[in-house]
Structure 1
Amino acid sequence: MIIDNKSTNKIKALRLLDKSRRSFLRGIFSRTTVISILLILQLLFIIASFAWLDHYRIWVAMIERALAIATVLYLVNSEMDALSRVTWLILVMIAPLLGSLFLIYTKLDWGYRGLKLRMNHLVDASSQYLQDNLETLRVLKSNTSTTYHLVQYFDRSRGDFPAYQNTEVTYFPSGEEFFEELKKQLLKAEEYIFMEFFIIAEGKMWGEILRILEQKVREGVEVRVLYDGMIEFSTLSFDYTQRLEKIGIKAKAFSPISPFISTYYNYRDHRKIIVIDGKVGFTGGVNLADEYINKINRFGHWKDTALMLEGEAVDSFLVLFLQMWSITERQMVVKPYLAKHDKKRKANGYVIPYGDSPLDTDKIGENVYIDILNHAREYVYIMTPYLILDSEMEHALCFAAERGVDVRIIMPGIPDKKVPYMLAKTYFSKLMRSGVKIYLYTPGFVHAKVFISDDSKAVVGTINLDYRSLYHHFECATYMYKVDAIRDIYDDCIQTMRKSKRVTQETLDSRPTHEKLIGLLVKTIAPLM
C-alpha cells in the first residue's frame, strides 16, 4: 500500500489537531483551572456584595467612617513596623470600608489558626531534643562573645536553637558544587533521607537526584520529600506526591492551594533542608531546579550558595524538618532519627542552625541580621537577591555604615523580577548616603543569602532581605562563629564583588523615568509584596 506525501501530511495534521484538542480539554478541566475559577467567583461575590451595599449608602457611610477611625487608632497603637502601618493607612484612605475589612480579615487569620496551634504544639514537643550544652555556654560567656547573648535570645524565642561545637562546616560558592557533593552524600545514606524544598522542578538536577532516591528506596532507606504547595501551580503536577509514593518515596506538599480564599496561602515554606542519617545536613539558597546549577539560562549566570554540616548541629535541622512534616501527622516521632554523633570529632568554632516562622511574633531572621550589623566593628558583606526593607533593617544598615563599618551589599545585575528590582533601587540613595556600598553582579542573578562580618561571624541560609522572607515565610539558616568555613565565605564575597559593578549616584539618577516612578509607587505597598 502506497501513501503519498500529501496523505501523510494530512494524517500528521489530524494527529496534531487531536493532540491539541486533548491538551485544551485537559487545560479546561484541570485542577488548576477549576481552583482559579472558584477563587475568581469568590472575589466576584465579594465585589457584588459591595455593589449591593451601595443601596444603603447612608448607613454604609456611617459604618465606613466608624471603621476607618477604629482602624487608624489600631494602626497608630500597633506593633507593626512603620512602613506596614503607612501601607495600611494608604489603603484605608483610598477605600475606608474595604481597607478596614481587609485589615480585620488578615488580623483574624481565618484559615490558618489551626496551623498556628499545631505548630506551637510541635515546637513545644520537640524542645526536649534541642537543649543547650552548659559547657558550651560557659565557654561562650567567658569569651565575652556577643554570640552568647544571641544564644540567650534563641532560648527566649519560640525556636530553642542551641549552639553546637565540633560540627564541620563546608561552604559551597555555587549550586554546581553543592549538587556534586549532595549526590555523593545521598549515595552514602543507610537509614533515611529527608528533603524539604521551596521549589522542585523536573529536569537534569532533580532527575539525577530522583534516580538516586529510587535506588536508595530499593536498598531499604526511608526517603521523605516535602515541598511547598505553590509549585503545584508551576513546576509540578497536582498528583506528584502520589507519583513519588508509587516508587516508595513518602511525599507531601505544604499548604497546597484549594478553591477557598484564605490568609493561609500567604505563608509559604521557603526552607531548604536535607538531612541524611542524622549525620549530614544541607541548607542554603539552592532549590532543586536546573537554573540553580546553570544547566538552563534564565537570568544570566545564577550565583548561589549552600552549606553542608557534619556533626551535632544536624540535630536542629532534623527537628525543623520533622516539625513541618508532622503538621498533618497525628504525632511527631523524633528520637529514632537522632544520630549517635562521634564525640571524638573536632572542629573549630560554634554552629547554630535556626528556623523562622510567620506564626509567631519573633522576627528571628531579621533579628540575627540586625545583631550582626549592630556588633560589627570592621565590615559586613551581604549577598541578597531582593532588598525590600522595613524601617528597623534600613536603620541598622545605615547606622552600621555611619559608625565606620564597611557595609557592602551584593545584588543581581540581571533581576528575576523587574518590579521588586525597581523597588529595591528606591532604597539605594539613602543607604549610599550613609556609606553603604552596593554592587550589582554583572554576569547575572544573585540568589545567595549571605551575611559575613569581621572574619568571625557568618550566616548562610534561605532568608532574603525582603518582607516575604522576614515576615511571611517559613525560613531557615545557619549562624556560624569562628568556624573555618568563614574564610571560604569571605573569599567568595570578594570574588563575587570583583565580578560586580558598584552603584554610584550618577548611575542611579540615570535610570529611566518609568523605573523611578514604578519604584516609588510600589514602595507604598512594599509590605504586601
Structure 2
Amino acid sequence: MFIDKLVWVGVLCLLQAAFLIYAYLQLREHYFSIQFVMTAISIIVVLYIINRPINPAYKLAWGITILIIPVFGGFFYLLLSVNSTRRAFRKSIRDAVAESKTHLSQDMSILDQIGEHSKHALPQARYIYNLAKYPVYQNTNVQYFASGEEMFITLLDELEKAKHFIFMEYFIIHDGIFWNSVLDILIRKAREGVEVKIIYDDMGSVRTLPPMYYEEMRQYGLECYCFNPFNPTLSLRLNNRDHRKITVIDGHTAFTGGINLADEYINKRQKLAGYWKDSGVMLKGEATWNFTVMFLQLWQHVSNAPVDYEAYHTPVSEFPADCRNCSDGFVQPYADNPLFSEVVAENVYLNMIHRATNYIYITTPYLIVDNEMITALTLAAQSGVDVRIITPHVPDKKTVFMITRSFYEPLTKAGVKIYEYTPGFIHSKMMVADDNYCVVGSINLDYRSLYLHFECATFLYHCKEINAVKDDILDCIEVSEEITYEHCLQMNKPYRLWLSILRLYAPLL
C-alpha cells in the first residue's frame, strides 16, 4: 500500500518526461535553431547560478551538469526552480517564522552570566539568538539518552503525564511497537481532553505510511497534518523536508535528537545488519518554550490558520516540581530553516570547531561536507586539537556511504581521526568540545541537513550531561575501527576516481 504512492508518482514523472521527449521529436526539424536557443539559455542560467549567494559546491555541481548537457541542462534547472507552488510555500513559511519571532525574547542577564563564565560560549549563544532568534535559558534540566531504547521508555512515561497538550513533529513515522505504543497513549489522552497535534514529513514517511494518513489520525480525535505533501511535479521544493524530531508536553517538557517514531530506532526491527545506535535529550524547564515555538511555526504553515502562541506558553508557576528551579547550566534549543540565506546549523558547528582548544568529538551518519567544514576540521587538527569523527560501518544508503568515505582522505591526511562504528549503524548527530560545549539534535553533517532540510538541535553549555555525551562517544570509539590516511591510500585508483566524481555531485544527491 505504501509503495503505491511512489509507483503513482513515478508514473506521473515518466509521463512528464515522455511529453518533453515527444515535444522534442516533433520539433526536430528545427534542431539547430532550438539547440542554439537552449544552449544560450543554459549559459545564462550558469551565469545566474554563479552569481547567486549559495554555497560554491552547489554552483560547481550545477554548472558542470548544465554545461555537459547544454541543450536541456538550463531548461531542466529552470523547470525545477521556477514554480508558483514553491513561491507560495516559501511565503507561508516566512510569514509563520516572522510571526513566531515576536514571541521569543532574550533575558540579557543570562548572556551576561555566560560571558562571565566563558568568552567562547558567549559568541555562540549570541549568534544563535541574533540570527535564529532562539534565546538561551537557565532553569532547565537536561537528560541525555545514549540509545533509542532509553528514550522510548522515558517518552512513554512523560506522555502519560500530559494534562493540557502534546505536540509531536517527526520525519518518519512507521507502524510498529514504538509508534503504536505512542499512538495508544495519544488516543487515550485526546479522549481525556488533552490537545494533541502531530506533524509528519510526507517524503520522509512515503514508504512507511499510507497516503493521507492524517485522515486516519483525525478519526481518533488527533489533529494531524503532513508537511510538504509529496507530489509528482518537478520542483526543488521536494528537497525541503521536515527532518526535525520534536515532542513537547504541556510546555514544560521536550524531547529531541536523532530518534524517529519507528522500531529500528529502538532495535525492534532489523532494518540494517547490526545495532542501530542513536541518541537524544529531554529538557524540563524554561528552554522548552523554544521547541514549543518551533512546532507552532510549522503548525501555522501546515494548517494554514493563525496560531495563538501565548495560549501554549505555560507559566513557570504552573510547571511540575521537577521542572522548576532545576538549573543545569545554559540550554539553547534552536532551529534552522533552508528558506533563509543564513546557514545557522553549519555555523553553530563551525563556531564550536573554531573555538575548541583541547578536543572536538563528532558523530554523524553521513559525512558529506563543504570546503568550509573541511577547512575548519583540518585547521583544528593541525592546531593540535584532538578531532575525532564517528561514522557508520554498516551503510543505510550505499552511494551516500561511498561519498562519506570519499572525505576520509583529506581529513585523515590533516590529522583528523575517523572511526567507523563496527557494531552497526550510528545515526546519532552530536558534537562535544572541551567538556563544556555540546550540540545534540537532528542535524547531520551533510548538505541536506545543513542547506535543505528543516532541522533542530540543542546547544548546551556548562551542563552536567555534557560528560554523558562525551563518555558515550568514547564508548563508541572503543568498539569502532579507525580509518587511517594509509588506509585511504590503499584504495585502488579507479575507485578513488569514482569517489572524486561522486564528491563533485554530492550537493545534488
Q: TM-score range by the shorter chain?
A: over 0.9
* Residue 305, structure 1, aligned to residue 279, structure 2: yes
The one of 66, 72, 81 aligned to 1:92: 66
Distance 2:203 2:475 in 1: 35
Cα gap change, 1:260 to 1:166, in 2 (>3 Å): same
1:334 to partner: Cα distance: 1.2
What does residue 151 of structure 1 align with? 125
What does residue 439 of structure 1 align with? 419
What does residue 275 of structure 1 align with? 248
* Residue 79, structure 1, aligned to residue 59, structure 2: no
Partner of 1:282, secondary structure, is strand
What does residue 476 of structure 2 align with? 496
Counterpart AA for 1:397: L
1:499 to partner: Cα distance: 0.9
What does residue 351 of structure 1 align with? 331
Distance 1:32 1:438 in 2: 36
More divergent stretch after superposition (433-442 vs 347-356): 347-356
Instruction: Compute the TM-score of the two structures, normalised by the length of structure 2.
Output: 0.94
What does residue 194 of structure 2 align with? 221
Distance 1:249 1:512 in 2: 55
Partner of 1:112, secondary structure, is helix
Distance 1:526 1:94 in 2: 17
Counterpart AA for 2:295: F
Distance 2:258 2:2 in 1: 32
User: Looking at CA atoms only, which structure, 1 or 2, has the larger radius of gyration?
Assistant: 1
What does residue 58 of structure 1 align with? 32
> What does 1:372-411 align with in structure 2 at a 5 Å threshold?
372-411=352-391
Partner of 1:233, secondary structure, is coil
Cα gap change, 1:201 to 1:312, in 2 (>3 Å): same
Check conservation: 2:129, 2:136, Cα contact below 8 A. no
What does residue 125 of structure 1 align with? 99
What does residue 15 of structure 1 align with? none
What does residue 261 of structure 2 align with? 288
> What is the RMSD computed on CA atoms of the aligned residues?
2.0
Distance 1:51 1:341 in 2: 68
Partner of 2:332, secondary structure, is strand
Q: Deviations over 1:392-426 (max 9, x none)?
A: 11111111111111110001111111111111111
Q: Deviations over 1:57-79 (max 9, x none)?
A: 23223323433432343344333
* Residue 211, structure 1, aligned to residue 153, structure 2: no
Cα gap change, 1:514 to 1:283, in 2 (>3 Å): farther
Cα gap change, 1:288 to 1:160, in 2 (>3 Å): same
Counterpart AA for 1:320: M
Partner of 2:450, secondary structure, is helix
Q: Deviations over 1:295-325 (max 9, x none)?
A: 1222210000000000111001001001111
More divergent stretch after superposition (497-506 vs 373-382): 497-506
* Residue 139, structure 1, aligned to residue 113, structure 2: yes
Check conservation: 2:81, 2:235, Cα contact below 8 A. no
How many pairs are equivalent?
Answer: 502
Cα gap change, 1:260 to 1:86, in 2 (>3 Å): closer
Partner of 2:444, secondary structure, is coil
1:513 to partner: Cα distance: 6.6
Q: Deviations over 1:349-405 (max 9, x none)?
A: 111101111111111110100000011100000000001111111111111111111
What does residue 257 of structure 1 align with? 230
Counterpart AA for 1:294: N
The one of 276, 292, 296 aligned to 1:318: 292
1:36 to partner: Cα distance: 2.9
What does residue 467 of structure 2 align with? 487
Distance 2:24 2:38 in 1: 12
* Residue 468, structure 1, aligned to residue 448, structure 2: yes
Check conservation: 2:2, 2:210, Cα contact below 8 A. no
Distance 1:441 1:73 in 2: 43
Cα gap change, 1:418 to 1:513, in 2 (>3 Å): farther
Cα gap change, 1:106 to 1:375, in 2 (>3 Å): farther
Check conservation: 1:171, 1:308, Cα contact below 8 A. yes
Distance 1:200 1:450 in 2: 22
More divergent stretch after superposition (222-231 vs 32-41): 32-41
Check conservation: 1:306, 1:461, Cα contact below 8 A. yes
Distance 1:364 1:216 in 2: 36
* Residue 428, structure 1, aligned to residue 428, structure 2: no
The one of 286, 305, 308 aligned to 1:330: 305
Cα gap change, 1:260 to 1:277, in 2 (>3 Å): same
1:258 to partner: Cα distance: 2.4
1:515 to partner: Cα distance: 4.9
Cα gap change, 1:93 to 1:307, in 2 (>3 Å): same
* Residue 70, structure 1, aligned to residue 34, structure 2: no
1:528 to partner: Cα distance: 0.6
The one of 224, 242, 246 aligned to 2:215: 242
1:433 to partner: Cα distance: 0.9
Instruction: Compute the TM-score of the two structures, normalised by the length of structure 1.
Output: 0.91
More divergent stretch after superposition (104-113 vs 462-471): 104-113
What does residue 103 of structure 1 align with? 77
Q: Deviations over 1:220-239 (max 9, x none)?
A: 11111110011453001113
Partner of 2:328, secondary structure, is coil
> What does 1:485-524 align with in structure 2 at a 5 Å threshold?
485-511=465-491, 515-524=495-504
Cα gap change, 1:512 to 1:51, in 2 (>3 Å): farther
Long gaps (5+) in structure 2: none
* Residue 364, structure 1, aligned to residue 344, structure 2: yes
1:178 to partner: Cα distance: 0.4
Check conservation: 1:151, 1:161, Cα contact below 8 A. no
Distance 2:263 2:493 in 1: 35
Partner of 1:97, secondary structure, is coil
1:109 to partner: Cα distance: 5.0
Cα gap change, 1:337 to 1:34, in 2 (>3 Å): same
Counterpart AA for 1:494: L
Counterpart AA for 2:35: A
Check conservation: 2:141, 2:327, Cα contact below 8 A. yes
Distance 1:88 1:133 in 2: 44
